Structure 1
Amino acid sequence: MVAQEFTVDLDKPLVFQVGHLGEAYQEWVHQPIVSKEGPRFFKSDFWEFLTLNRWYSIPIIWLPVVCWYTAKSFKMGQSPPQIATILVLGIFIWSLMEYTLHRFLFHIKTKSYWGNTLHYLLHGCHHKHPQDGLRLVFPPTATAILLVPLWKILNLISTPMVAPALFAGILLGYVMYDCTHYYLHNGQPRNEISKSLKKYHLNHHFRIQTKGFGITSSLWDSVFGTLPQTKSHEKERMQ
């Protein structure tokens, strides 16, 4: 069958279907289905279970790790003001990582069978089913695997006293990001900041998916020129 003629059956497990879409995958995956009921990923109950995560598992699992590494820097001689500064630096570094990963990895263009399959698992599923509440946060097992090289890199580029707190700051930034991301999709913002963030992120999903890659802020979109135009600006440009 020609790849472009393949039709995904939404009533069957999706992961091993989407690769057959070929070049048509990019168009298909960016046509969202707005439903809180998520699709089936795998036929196997075991693998399906591993794709499902409650949002509160993120702070429950990772905040104790943040505290442990923060305490490690304190025991090695860092003062509370120094630790606070390093934590803020770590959160700032995470914000750049968040933007970079979202823009260049999560939105990479694919067309091969395995390229489409891996992209769907990584981020495509979120764009196809943006309200799937059980797949809005990153699986803790995958996060743990990625934290190993991050820890090694930080030990290479910083001192033994700084590395633990910097690691804790980056991890804290990640926790803030994942919880914020869940809230923007499923929460009901009551203040102007959270309302603005929700509008900004849903704009990325439903209007301009090639811009607005920041989740916790629009800082790096402003810096790197991927800030989406407002509807009023678009109307002015068209006139």
Structure 2
Amino acid sequence: MEYTLHRFVLHMKTKSYWANTAHYLFHGCHHKHPMDGLRLVFPPAGTAILCVPVYNLLRLISTPTTTPALFGGVLMGYVIYECTHYYLHYGQPSSSMPQKLKKYHLNHHYRMQSKSFGITSSLWDHVFGTCPDSLVAEKKR
């Protein structure tokens, strides 16, 4: 979900004034100012609004007793994602895995915005060919 939303929704090509404005407000301002702490996470009001269709979608595909649990899992996954994203921008990781994730994500911001869409993992970038060539060559060695 993270990779799909980041690549196809947050990095979609827009042509109209209103689409460009909405895109800038949702994600473009984060790319323009990647180290601005106020632009690192999606606004809580926007998240609350988006929770309604997500909950209704889950209601369609699950039973009334499992919907709240599934919704809780989706919400928890989202919060973990946002915390990870914030940490990759502002944290000072001391172990190698978070250091690699931070380098990988900041590469997306400062070098190639059309690559490295994964935030918590580079797995789907490898699967869909959006991993930077330098990292693919490095893995083959």
Q: What's the TM-score, normalizing by structure 1?
A: 0.55
- How far apart are 1:222 and its partner, in Å? 2.1
CA deviations over 1:32-87 (Å, ceiling 9, x no partner): xxxxxxxxxxxxxxxxxxxxxxxxxxxxxxxxxxxxxxxxxxxxxxxxxxxxxxxx
**Corresponding residue number in structure 1 for 2:112:** 208
**Corresponding residue number in structure 2 for 1:104:** 8
Runs of 4 or more, structure 1, over 3 Å off, are: 231-234
Secondary structure of 1:107's partner?
A: coil
Say if 1:232 and 1:101 are closer, same or farther in 2 by CA, change over 3 A: closer
CA deviations over 1:87-120 (Å, ceiling 9, x no partner): xxxxxxxxxx211111011111124322221111
User: Which among 139, 142, 146 is matched to residue 50 of structure 2?
Assistant: 146
Q: Return the letter of the residue paired with 1:174.
A: Y
Identity level (%): 70
- How far apart are 1:160 and its partner, in Å? 2.0
- How far apart are 1:216 and its partner, in Å? 1.1
**Corresponding residue number in structure 1 for 2:103:** 199
- Rounded to whole Å, the distance in 1 between the matches of 2:43 and 2:24 is 15
Is 1:230 matched up with 2:134?
yes
- How far apart are 1:154 and its partner, in Å? 0.7
Mark the structure with the bigger radius of gyration.
1
Unmatched 5+ stretches in structure 2: none
- How far apart are 1:193 and its partner, in Å? 1.0
- Rounded to whole Å, the distance in 2 between the matches of 1:225 and 1:233 is 13
User: Which among 15, 19, 27 is matched to residue 115 of structure 1?
Assistant: 19
Q: Aligned residues, how many?
A: 138
- Rounded to whole Å, the distance in 2 between the matches of 1:181 and 1:197 is 10
Q: Return the letter of the residue paired with 1:165.
A: A
- Rounded to whole Å, the distance in 1 between the matches of 2:90 and 2:8 is 25
Relative contact order higher in (CA < 8 Å, ≥ 6 apart): 1
- Rounded to whole Å, the distance in 2 between the matches of 1:186 and 1:117 is 27
**Corresponding residue number in structure 2 for 1:170:** 74
- Rounded to whole Å, the distance in 1 between the matches of 2:62 and 2:54 is 12
Secondary structure of 2:65's partner?
A: coil
- How far apart are 1:149 and its partner, in Å? 0.8
Is 1:130 matched up with 2:34?
yes
Secondary structure of 1:213's partner?
A: coil
Which structure: greater helix fraction? 2
**Corresponding residue number in structure 1 for 2:94:** 190
- How far apart are 1:232 and its partner, in Å? 8.4
Say if 1:109 and 1:232 are closer, same or farther in 2 by CA, change over 3 A: closer
Unmatched 5+ stretches in structure 1: 1-96, 235-239
